[in-house]
Structure 1
């Protein structure tokens, strides 16, 4: 039999526990040890520790999932913002009062893609042939003088009243076509209209017509847009 208090093994029919002195009520042979209070406490502690550990693990798991969701949300927001920015850039609102020289290669490509038809829609602008001529010739002049970050006040010049020019075939060196572009755009600045012709080397000589001048400027700026440099020469 066992002591009901300390759980020690005692001889059968014992009246007192020889270990702790507690009175033993003999109700027959008791061959199983009573449940120890200490053992119960240990079991409870183990269960509590297990539950706490489970809760901590679940909290960490949900926190990780939540962080991933928020990061994903932020990424989506960043992606949306980036897409919005690209979209805005693709449809950037340009102004005739401050047209960036950096946009000139893109305008040259748009004019070429439009097959020589006007007006040309470029981003937020609808541009006439005279406006395109001014933007391109002014841009080549500014780039040639190192003013690549400049802006142009375009206005609305009239087209040449009597366009002409011999348009002789040949090759024009960079220094000459930059000077020619400068004279062409300066004429528009002074007179508010496209000149009837322009001289390659000398002002007042009917070498190049306005339409051929437009072709020359497009070729120059397409090369500049792809290489970052003005070409050494351009063919007429």
Structure 2
């Protein structure tokens, strides 16, 4: 029996992309992935299908699967759409917040602070994206929540491709500012804080099209437990 599910393997590959271990354009060989994860090739094909649906992997006939290579224009498009979606999330969320939801958000930001203090890059990446997904889910808008899942996945690929630094930090201070405005019920200020936050994230990208040399698949997937 395979030890890991397709979803678990997909998440580990996603993290490798977000951590800049797996670089855009790197080939994902079925046989090598099956050996590295100790699973069947059928399971690997399920994993690649999941990642392809999320825009993280591209397949070419007779060539196989590769980590997707977003263009500069695609990167700008994703952030343009994120701005619109996250503004709408704020509008939907503002009237649906209660003390319990605010407490969950505050606790999440505290976890982000701990991850930053210990420089736990994997936790930082997961928690940063998780904050935005949590807002969408709390808005009780299934359509927006689905859009955010896709946009967060694509954003992780884009930041891996174009980020100047190996360190990823979506920003607990800026997340905390958004929560403060949500708590006070100031939708205009919350929307402004979210727009500023996304501008900050995008400005950290080097949208020149230059990319680093890829590493081997084996090295890229050496993830700590």
Asked which structure has the greater CA Rg, the reply is: 1
The reply to whether TM is greater than 0.5 is no
- TM-score scaled to structure 2, two decimals? 0.24
- TM-score scaled to structure 1, two decimals? 0.23
More contact order relative to length (CA 8 Å, sep ≥ 6): 2
Q: Which has the higher helix share?
A: 2
